[in-house]
């Protein structure tokens, strides 16, 4: 491939797609806790009053009662939904029997006055029509290798129609313009609907959130009405917990989940640090079925006894490998194992990530019972949607080299619009300093990292998404999971020390089947990455510079090598590893998976995928 000239074109093409991003609903996303359409707070002493007496003023627009639109009669969903009505005061409003979950009044605010999460999308859809939604490049998802292992794997489906998700959810799927399931959805949804635990390797941007949300929402809708346990009146009992490693990712999952659960009666609440806790507590008090959270804030809520995990039926860890790495593992273990969450086998557990190192899989298996491992080929790299380039740049030359890239990109840009460029650096200080330097040199930039206030972080993300500052300098806080449409170029100004982090970073471009460009600056400091980087690029059919191959040949870099020889997959079931099978007595001692696959997978099966 002749990437030498194509990279600028790529960026320029993406720049053309960028026109008009200002109307993106992402602007709304960050305002989820302060939006204009939010109903006024009703003080607790007013909540017990009968619906007929002095109802709150109706919202200015929208349906008076979303229940009217639920079409109760004749639906096979009528029964669970009616049950749900009785439940909707559950947890939040103190579980008052027959309380304000009634169908007729305006008191069940969580439903009757549910803010339409699709409300602002109309403009966006018009601006982007073909590109953003309808034209998700599904062809790019065809022929992607998929690998499953485990006991009695349910067969995949080819259409949403084959899956019994229910009317309300199907309507939301149509509203989201999802035409057919992505590969991870085709496999993961039936597995999850069958009640099985799941460890899934799939790149974000391939429909991962929906893959674990649809079964959760559907399961809550048709599941039994929970009985509120005896607890402090202000404790709430979510039925599903979704954990993610960064605040912005939790916000994003929340926004997406709200769309999927719109008018299903299933309530989604998000809780994360850096934001006032009181508003989050109020949201929880209004009722919560699905709680999306970052670990720190959740631990806080658990210790305050404002949340109990006793009723959890579904646990999902997004970016699960990050959640279980050294920094996070104790907190996650506390939440999952040392609070009041039901054990594996009782709850249903789903772990998702684009990468799943073997050691992490071993840790993760503590949380799972007789699980199915699912690996979906990398959408981006394996289909050349992301063009990866690596350039040898000395530390002292990095800034001027970046400037060259940006100038070329600007020259090729359409209508003066600059392509969105995400620049990853190693440190928070480095991020601030590079941002300042870029601004001084005529390139509007902003930055996101852990030393900034949450407000600043969210503002930076908005400003980047809208194109106001088309350059975002970021630490690894932005490496994982964030879905930022129209990122044309990811620059690894400083390479990470872990090849998996590289995979996550470049995954911020080339999303939803679009093309993207990833440029890495490499020098002697990155010697330990040479081998893994060269291997990865080769696997993805990228042009590997000769100098990098030479580097790789003489570097040791054992830590970054992919065990098991890599292959086209982001991961491979560690249970199938022959070395593990021989030496894995500790694992079988756990008793989690006795009889499932024991010994069934060894060299011959594994070799089919090598």
* DSSP-assigned states of every residue in 445-484: EEEE-TTS-HHHHHHHHHHHHTTSS-EEEE-GGGTSS---
- Stretch in the footprint of DNA (CB under 7 A) among 110-118, 323-331, 518-526, 562-570: 323-331
Of 365 and 447, which CB lies nearer to DNA in the complex structure? 447
Max Cα separation, the chain? 80
Shortest gap between Cβ of 438 and DNA (angstroms)?
18
299 binds DNA (CB under 7 A): yes
Which residues 64-93 are close enough to bind DNA by CB under 7 A?
Answer: none
Q: Shortest CA distance to 480 belongs to which of 450, 507, 462?
A: 507
427 binds DNA (CB under 7 A): yes
Residue 200 DSSP class: E
Report whether 471 contacts 423 (CB < 8 A): yes
Shortest gap between Cβ of 319 and DNA (angstroms)?
11
Of 300 and 384, which CB lies nearer to DNA in the complex structure? 300
Q: In whole angstroms, how large is the CA radius of gyration of the chain?
A: 24
Residue 599 DSSP class: T
Which of 328, 356, 371, 464 contacts DNA by CB under 7 A?
Answer: 328
Which residues 176-205 are close enough to bind DNA by CB under 7 A?
Answer: none
Shortest gap between Cβ of 337 and DNA (angstroms)?
17
State the Cα–Cα distance between residues 280 and 262, nearest whole angstrom: 19
Which of 124, 182, 203, 246 contacts DNA by CB under 7 A?
Answer: 246
Residue 130 DSSP class: I
Which of 300, 366, 456, 539 contacts DNA by CB under 7 A?
Answer: 300
Of 297 and 575, which CB lies nearer to DNA in the complex structure? 297
Of 366 and 426, which CB lies nearer to DNA in the complex structure? 426
Which of 44, 327, 343, 563 contacts DNA by CB under 7 A?
Answer: 327
Please provide the size of the chain in residues: 610
Of 162 and 426, which CB lies nearer to DNA in the complex structure? 426
449 binds DNA (CB under 7 A): yes
Which of 30, 168, 239, 275 contacts DNA by CB under 7 A?
Answer: 275
- Stretch in the footprint of DNA (CB under 7 A) among 138-146, 297-305, 527-535, 596-604: 297-305
Which of 81, 113, 196, 247 contacts DNA by CB under 7 A?
Answer: 247
Shortest gap between Cβ of 494 and DNA (angstroms)?
10
User: For 537, phi and psi rounded to 5 degrees?
Assistant: -65, -40
339 binds DNA (CB under 7 A): no
459 binds DNA (CB under 7 A): no
Distances in whole angstroms, Cα of residue 445 to Cα of each of 9, 84, 417, 440, 487: 22, 48, 14, 10, 14
Beta-ladder partners of 421 = 471, 489
Report whether 354 contacts 314 (CB < 8 A): no
Which residues 471-530 are close enough to bind DNA by CB under 7 A?
Answer: 475-477, 497
- Stretch in the footprint of DNA (CB under 7 A) among 21-29, 39-47, 319-327, 394-402: 319-327
Residue 384 DSSP class: T
The DSSP element (H or E) to which 540 belongs, if any, is none
Shortest gap between Cβ of 565 and DNA (angstroms)?
24
296 binds DNA (CB under 7 A): yes
Which residues 117-176 are close enough to bind DNA by CB under 7 A?
Answer: none
Of 306 and 489, which CB lies nearer to DNA in the complex structure? 306
429 binds DNA (CB under 7 A): yes
Give 3-state DSSP helix, strand, coil % of the chain, rounded to 5.
Answer: 45, 10, 45
Of 300 and 543, which CB lies nearer to DNA in the complex structure? 300
Of 206 and 532, which CB lies nearer to DNA in the complex structure? 532
Lay out the sheet containing 487-492: strands in order across: 386-392, 516-522, 487-492, 420-424, 471-474, 445-448
Which of 273, 444, 557, 567 contacts DNA by CB under 7 A?
Answer: 273
- Stretch in the footprint of DNA (CB under 7 A) among 89-97, 425-433, 569-577, 592-600: 425-433
Shortest gap between Cβ of 427 and DNA (angstroms)?
3
- Stretch in the footprint of DNA (CB under 7 A) among 100-108, 244-252, 284-292, 569-577: 244-252
Shortest gap between Cβ of 579 and DNA (angstroms)?
25
State the Cα–Cα distance between residues 488 and 420, nearest whole angstrom: 6
Contacts of 419 (CB under 8 A, 6+ apart): 11, 12, 14, 15, 18, 409, 413, 470, 486, 488, 489
Which of 9, 122, 164, 303 contacts DNA by CB under 7 A?
Answer: 303
432 binds DNA (CB under 7 A): no
Kind of pairing, strands 420-424 and 471-474?
parallel
Q: Shortest CA distance to 508 belongs to which of 540, 462, 538, 476?
A: 476
Report whether 380 contacts 510 (CB < 8 A): yes
Shortest gap between Cβ of 295 and DNA (angstroms)?
5
Beta-ladder partners of 372 = 198
State the Cα–Cα distance between residues 486 and 466, nearest whole angstrom: 10
Contacts of 410 (CB under 8 A, 6+ apart): 418
Report whether 562 contacts 434 (CB < 8 A): no
Report whether 314 contacts 239 (CB < 8 A): yes
Which of 56, 274, 545, 584 contacts DNA by CB under 7 A?
Answer: 274
245 binds DNA (CB under 7 A): yes
SS3 386: strand
Of 243 and 517, which CB lies nearer to DNA in the complex structure? 243
Shortest gap between Cβ of 330 and DNA (angstroms)?
9
Shortest gap between Cβ of 298 and DNA (angstroms)?
6
Of 375 and 530, which CB lies nearer to DNA in the complex structure? 530
451 binds DNA (CB under 7 A): yes
Lay out the sheet containing 314-317: strands in order across: 146-149, 372-376, 198-201, 348-353, 314-317, 240-243, 290-293, 268-271
Which of 1, 53, 57, 326 contacts DNA by CB under 7 A?
Answer: 326
325 binds DNA (CB under 7 A): yes
The contact set with DNA (CB under 7 A) reads: 245-248, 272-275, 277, 293-300, 303, 325-328, 331, 426-430, 449-451, 475-477, 497
């Amino acid at each position: 491939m002749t990437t030498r000239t194509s990279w600028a074109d790529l960026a320029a093409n993406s720049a053309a797609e960028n026109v008009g991003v200002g109307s993106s609903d992402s602007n709304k996303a960050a305002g989820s806790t302060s939006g204009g359409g939010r109903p006024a707070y009703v003080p607790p002493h007013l909540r017990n009053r009968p619906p007929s007496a002095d109802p709150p003023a109706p919202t200015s627009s929208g349906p008076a009662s979303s229940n009217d639109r639920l079409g109760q009669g004749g639906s096979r969903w009528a029964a669970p939904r009616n049950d749900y009505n009785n439940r909707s005061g559950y947890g939040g409003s103190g579980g008052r029997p027959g309380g304000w979950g009634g169908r007729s009044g305006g008191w069940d605010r969580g439903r009757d006055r549910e803010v339409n999460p699709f409300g602002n999308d109309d403009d966006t859809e018009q601006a982007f029509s073909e590109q953003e939604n309808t034209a998700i490049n599904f062809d790019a998802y065809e022929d992607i290798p998929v690998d499953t292992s485990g006991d009695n794997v349910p067969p995949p489906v080819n259409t949403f129609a084959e899956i019994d998700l229910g009317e309300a959810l199907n309507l939301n799927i149509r509203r989201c313009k999802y035409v057919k399931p992505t590969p991870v959805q085709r496999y993961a949804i039936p597995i999850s609907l069958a009640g099985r635990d799941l460890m899934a390797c799939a790149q974000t941007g391939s429909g991962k959130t929906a893959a674990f949300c649809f079964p959760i929402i559907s399961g809550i809708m048709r599941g039994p009405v929970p009985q509120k346990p005896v607890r402090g009146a202000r404790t709430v009992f979510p039925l599903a917990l979704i954990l993610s490693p960064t605040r912005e990712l939790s916000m994003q999952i929340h926004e997406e989940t709200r769309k999927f659960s719109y008018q299903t009666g299933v309530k989604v609440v998000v809780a994360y640090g850096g934001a006032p806790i009181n508003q989050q507590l109020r949201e929880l008090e209004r009722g919560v079925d699905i709680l999306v959270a970052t670990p720190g804030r959740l631990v806080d809520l658990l210790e305050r006894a404002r949340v109990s995990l006793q009723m959890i039926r579904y646990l999902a860890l997004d970016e699960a490998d990050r959640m279980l790495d050294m920094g996070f593992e104790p907190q996650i273990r506390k939440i999952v194992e040392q609070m009041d969450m039901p054990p594996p086998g009782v709850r249903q557990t789903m772990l998702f990530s684009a990468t799943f190192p073997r050691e992490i899989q071993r840790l993760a298996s503590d949380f799972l019972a007789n699980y199915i491992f699912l690996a979906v080929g990398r959408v981006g790299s394996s289909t050349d949607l992301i063009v990866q380039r690596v350039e040898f740049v000395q530390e002292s030359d990095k800034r001027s080299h970046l400037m060259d890239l940006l100038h070329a990109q600007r020259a090729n840009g359409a209508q003066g619009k600059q392509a969105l460029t995400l620049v990853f650096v190693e440190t928070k200080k480095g991020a601030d300093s590079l941002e300042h330097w870029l601004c001084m040199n005529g390139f509007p930039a902003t930055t996101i990292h852990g030393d900034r206030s949450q407000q600043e972080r969210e503002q930076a993300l908005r400003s980047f998404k809208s194109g106001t500052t088309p350059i975002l300098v970021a630490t690894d806080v932005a490496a994982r999971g964030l879905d930022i449409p129209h990122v044309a170029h990811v620059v690894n100004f400083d390479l990470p020390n872990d090849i998996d982090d590289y995979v996550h970073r470049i995954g911020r471009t080339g999303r939803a089947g679009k093309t993207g460009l990833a440029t890495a600056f490499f020098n002697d400091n990155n010697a330990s990455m040479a081998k893994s980087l060269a291997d990865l690029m080769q696997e993805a059919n990228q042009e590997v510079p000769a100098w990098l191959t030479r580097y790789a040949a003489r570097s040791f870099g054992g830590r970054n090598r992919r065990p098991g020889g890599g292959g086209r997959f982001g991961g491979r079931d560690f249970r199938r590893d022959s070395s593990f099978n021989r030496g894995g007595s500790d694992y079988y001692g756990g008793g989690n998976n006795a009889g499932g696959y024991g010994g069934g997978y060894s060299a011959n099966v594994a070799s089919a995928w090598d």
